[in-house]
Structure 1
């Protein structure tokens, strides 16, 4: 669905998991900023009086996002909402594609039915970011194709990150390779601003990032460190059934003014 040039918004609500919450992008005060906060600031500069809520919670799968965040979001009657879900689903050994798509479609349908402008995006290939995750690449490609189809059917604006090289670049990802870095969150925020033709936005978010140079030994050492520091603990939590979002509440559960 093509963006509306110069569109104005008064209430923006973000639904999702850790990426929307902002993990990987410290705010300097013990919390996280993230692409949604960055995008809200850009949007607020062009929409004085904009109010923004972020209901996202790390570790949430699509069904949990729908169950926990959709009703509060609808109650806020947003004129703009972002819905980003699915990565936590495809990382699980037991992946129910039909259930995932039903949950995402239900959120798209409910929000657009309210007259809300809905934005979503595809995911970079995590196999290109973390070599050990390459067996999941096919799931990512399939989910992205499904998201394109659902977005087109429901009139949802979709930003397609899958073919953009910068989205796969190591600089765009934090050390854990599961969350965007400040660079990556900035790319996403600028991409959404461009998709909605926010004044001052452009397509430079697509520009290639500088290449990294490292020897084979350095690359192998990096993989070993990542396995020990991040992959092993993540697998351990999954085996114990512990979610990273246990006990975590949304960081911005109410519509509040965006200070620009």
Structure 2
């Protein structure tokens, strides 16, 4: 099936944090996915409504109506991780917001893709207690997707997606290689010609770090990334305050100006 109007809805992952472009802006998996689509359909138009820091209900309330106004024939919806890591997580409310978007977009004739979330405790050891939340939310996403014929990139079963080399130093956002793999996963799930399941394959093994290096890395991560995040939460602030979508209108897709970059392994 040919798609000519692609709209991405979501939060920081879809906005592209962790994957800077050559002009100093953000690229990200949605831009990369649009580029893959444009290779098959040169006339593709693409809009990205995602804004960092948004909760699932905010993505629905702020982005769904503008998305529908663009009359997409293809849409991606990725939201819920910002909810999942907050103390007052409500899986039912998150799933309801996602399902509202699934229903509205498919009802308007769009093919819709979404994702399940990986075991975040494999990326951030301090987040291991969140596994029951991840399992609960993923089950709700899969059920809602089935009710509305939404295609799902099911990341949870694949250990490769939690490899540190796919993630930026903050461990909250994919790095360039991670964004490239998400785009490849979307293409494979959509059935784009030339795509395959290589996004699920593990990277070459690395030597196991010493306990001291692991501990040092955890302390540095907490000081540089976790503590500032906690301070923003306590102040009722968000990284997305005052921000708007980076690509609110449907525009032609430009080819990347440089060859694909490989992500370096994440430092300890």
TM-score (norm 2): 0.93
| Structure 2 match to 1:244 | 239
Find the partner of 1:227 among 197, 222, 230.
222
- Give the match's secondary structure for 1:193: helix
Instruction: For 1:9 and 1:212, locate their aligned partners in 2 and report how far apart those are by CA, in whole Å.
Output: 40
- Give the match's secondary structure for 1:52: strand
- Give the match's secondary structure for 2:112: strand
Asked if 1:202 is matched to 2:196, the reply is: yes
Instruction: For 1:235 and 1:40, locate their aligned partners in 2 and report how far apart those are by CA, in whole Å.
Output: 34
- Give the match's secondary structure for 1:186: helix
- Give the match's secondary structure for 1:81: strand
Instruction: For 1:23 and 1:230, locate their aligned partners in 2 and report how far apart those are by CA, in whole Å.
Output: 14
Asked if 1:114 is matched to 2:108, the reply is: yes
Instruction: For 1:255 and 1:231, locate their aligned partners in 2 and report how far apart those are by CA, in whole Å.
Output: 35
What does the per-residue CA deviation read over 1:152-197, in whole Å, with 9 as the maximum and x for residues that have no partner? Answer: 1110000100011211111111110111111111110001111112
Asked if 1:101 is matched to 2:91, the reply is: no
Find the partner of 1:91 among 81, 85, 88.
85
| Contiguous gaps of at least 5 residues in structure 1 | 1-6
Displacement of 1:110 after TM fit? 0.3
Find the partner of 1:257 among 252, 260, 268.
252
| Contiguous gaps of at least 5 residues in structure 2 | 256-268
Contact 2:91 2:136 in 1 (8 A): no
Q: How many correspondences in the alignment?
A: 254
Contact 2:91 2:133 in 1 (8 A): no
Instruction: For 1:211 and 1:25, locate their aligned partners in 2 and report how far apart those are by CA, in whole Å.
Output: 23
- Give the match's secondary structure for 2:102: helix
| Structure 1 match to 2:67 | 73
| Structure 2 match to 1:216 | 211
Q: Choose 175-184 or 98-107, whichever is displaced more.
A: 98-107
Contact 2:28 2:176 in 1 (8 A): yes
Asked if 1:190 is matched to 2:193, the reply is: no
Q: CA RMSD in A?
A: 0.9
Displacement of 1:199 after TM fit? 2.0
TM-score (norm 1): 0.96
Instruction: For 2:8 and 2:217, locate their aligned partners in 1 and report how far apart those are by CA, in whole Å.
Output: 34
Displacement of 1:98 after TM fit? 2.2
Instruction: For 2:128 and 2:250, locate their aligned partners in 1 and report how far apart those are by CA, in whole Å.
Output: 39
